[in-house]
Structure 1
């Protein structure tokens, strides 16, 4: 590795890490662009959908709103701050801390929102009558407000009490009480989401074995949304595993492992909306009609049959006519 002379503040520029971080920044900016467009389209699909219950719509809109904020503002700021730190650029510590704080708080809130989604999907499958109460819009808003508001408050306390002169600002897990917070509000939601998802899949699999063959071959809109959310949870768990291990091991931000693992982890900010839209036939068709007006696309009915409907250029597509209410 090539190392230049120390710059003010006892910071050494490692040319090898700078090249890696510059390449990583390119991937992360591309991720932000794709993620911003994807999460914006997901919000549009959800807001305009008339076949989804208000409680679940609120949860999913909150989840994708956090993704939109992360992709549009929080992640670009944090990624640039990481590159500047590797290059030993001197900039205002409070501005640096603010960029890292915004990204960390938004990303942790998104993790917890994902865990709440998993718990709600589990409740919908196992206790559908209780789910009707839990999915009331006010109940959903209160639960999300308590959990996500608590996450924000805890991180704010941690960020405000730090000594910026003796801190690896880009790695909050090295802050005073930072690692404990990673255990409590990042690792715990991962475990909760995993347990809820495994339990939900087990119940669904058991029930499908007891159904008739004809019923098994009719995926409703509800099942498509369940499947899409389930795939989101699995992808998030796979990408978040190495990330949380990295932070719990206390690896500093000026380390190649920190740079590479964060590039991989941050891919889920773009993959989540792509997967959500791609695995839902109604939303997929809606986006395709937006991108390619006037094309002929199959329309799936709630009986599992398909037909071809041609939407004239400039016409209004109504892909929400098919499928059951979620």
Structure 2
């Protein structure tokens, strides 16, 4: 995950070449488009989760938390964070309060999202490898408690960091400048990503070894597994970039962040698009809305004609 702008830094990074400025502008536009698509697709995902009665309650809760977090990111956190990021990289002074709010919200939300994806992967592995234990852990209260325990350290550590860290005069949002940023990137981003990949690998190996004794996954499970893998793979280039100590004035820094942020819109598309049942739900929802609008339009036209008569 791309770590946030240092929230209290008001020292702008000098503008580089015109080509860099154009690249930042294109990146900002693409990220805003990602946000727009993400809000719409996450709403459809929520609709499918609310309508479908076949999915386990524990998995439904975790997916609802994930897509709710994505909506917050795409609707509020990422647009504000991306705009501030663009302004600071372009050498424009920004308001300290707005930088702090949007940066903190974006950072916490993305770290909660990463923890939730990790939990979903663990739950999928339990469903395959330990189905009896999975029934207990997928209970509504248990699933809520597990998510609370996994996500609480994110909020706690970010709150502590906000009060103890002095960012003044630091180059804009470069996570390589502070040990505490590097530590939290490893603890809340890199580590969950590595755990997710290991869990996914264990699940795949188990299914390969037990081939024939495990019933094939339905379309819902298959779509969840694919979006878990895709979501995680989008994180890997960003982790490698930060491990290589890439600087903010590097074009790769901007491009890889844009690529990473695509998954906010791609995850719900994969979740809905790879499930025939959910695709049908979305189609029926859209069709019914179109028919209702057409009926309302026809009624208004008839009323207009009658009034003229």
Aligned to 1:78: 81
Residue in structure 1 matched with residue 302 of structure 2 by the alignment: none
**RMSD between superposed Cα atoms in Å:** 2.1
Q: Which of residues 28, 31, 46 in structure 2 aligns to 1:28?
A: 31
Aligned match for 1:253, one of 229, 233, 248: 248
Tell me if structure 1 keeps the 8 A contact 2:84–2:94: no
* Residue 100 (structure 1) shift: 1.5
Distance in 2 of aligned mates of 1:174 and 1:159: 15
Unaligned ranges ≥5, structure 1: 1-7, 296-312, 315-326
Structure 1 pair 27–71 and aligned structure 2 pair: CA distance change class (3 A): same
| Between structures 1 and 2, the one with greater helix share | 2
Matches within 5 A, 1:192-211: 192-210=195-213
| Structure 2 residues without counterparts, runs of 5 or longer | 1-9, 293-309
2:191 to 185, 188, 191: 188
Q: Residues 158 and 294 of structure 1: is their aligned pair in 2 closer, same or farther, counting only changes over 3 Å?
A: closer
What is the Cα deviation at residue 193 of structure 1?
0.8
Q: For 1:135 and 1:169, how far apart are their aligned partners in 2?
A: 42
Aligned residues: 282
Equivalent in 128, 139, 142 of residue 139 of structure 1: 142
Q: Report which stretch shifted further, 123-132 or 194-203.
A: 194-203
1:293 Cα deviation (Å)? 3.8
Deviations 1:110-158 (A, max 9, x none): 0110000000110111111111111111111111001111112112222
Q: Relative to 1, partners in 2 of residues 1:231 and 1:91: Cα closer, same or farther, differing over 3 Å?
A: same
What is aligned with 2:284?
Answer: 289
TM-score under structure 2 normalisation?
0.85
1:240 aligns with 2:235: yes
Decide whether the 8 Å contact of 1:252 with 1:258 is kept in 2.
yes
> 1:168–1:252: 8 Å Cα contact kept in structure 2?
no
Q: Distance in 2 between matches of 1:59 and 1:89?
A: 39
Structure number with the bigger relative contact order (C-alpha 8 A, sep ≥ 6) is: 2
Find the aligned partners of 1:166 and 1:140 in 2 and give their Cα distance.
43
Tell me what 1:127 maps to.
130
Instruction: Give yes or no for contact 1:162–1:176 (8 Å, CA) kept in 2.
Output: no
Q: Which residue, out of 42, 47, 53, partners 2:45? A: 42
Change (3 A) 1:117 1:173: farther
Q: What is residue 154 of structure 1 aligned with on the other side?
A: 157
CA contact (8 A) 1:232 1:272 kept: yes
* Residue 300 of structure 1: aligned partner: none
* Structure 1 partner of 2:263: 268
Q: Following the alignment from structure 1 to structure 2, what is the Cα–Cα distance between the partners of residues 206 and 159?
A: 48
